[in-house]
Amino acid sequence: MGFGGCSGGRGVVGGRGFTLVEVLAGLVLVAIVLPVAVRALQVGMGAGDMARQRLEAVSLAQSKVDEIVALRDWDRGEVSGAFDEPFERYAYAVELADFDDEVRTLTVVVTWERRGQAQALRLATLVDTSIEE
């Protein structure tokens, strides 16, 4: 019987260390998995940022449509501008088109820049222009 109940002379009593092959295999695994995980994190963060910007653009477009409808301000023709802080990176343009004799199409186009590329979102609704105040 060997020293301390350990047979075969495997080394340290009561424990076992890692071999060089096991350490190298672990390092190779980490070298393969880590870049993939980092890239997945970057893609996820980019998608989240894009979703946030689109959600802000939809909200801004809806608020501009609500404002125009509430003020019955659709007879000013095409109007454009920029939103106030903290949304100054977004701009808008209002387009009006006849749908029929009493109904017009009101479209708000919100634009912004993301990573050097122009982005746009269009929100359209119909307004009855025959209704008197």
- Kindly write down the DSSP assignment for every residue of 60-101, as one continuous string: HHHHHHHHHHHHT-GGG-SEEEEPPTT-TT-EEEEEEEE-SS
Is 7 inside any structural domain? no
| Number of separate domains in the chain | 1
CATH number, domain at 23?
3.30.1300
Global confidence as pTM: 0.69
Is 99 inside any structural domain? yes
Domain carrying residue 88? 17-128
Is 133 inside any structural domain? no
Low-confidence ranges of the chain (pLDDT < 50): 1-2, 9
Is 75 inside any structural domain? yes
What confidence tens digit (pLDDT) does each residue in 5-30 have?
555 545 555 567 889 999 999 999 99
Is 53 inside any structural domain? yes
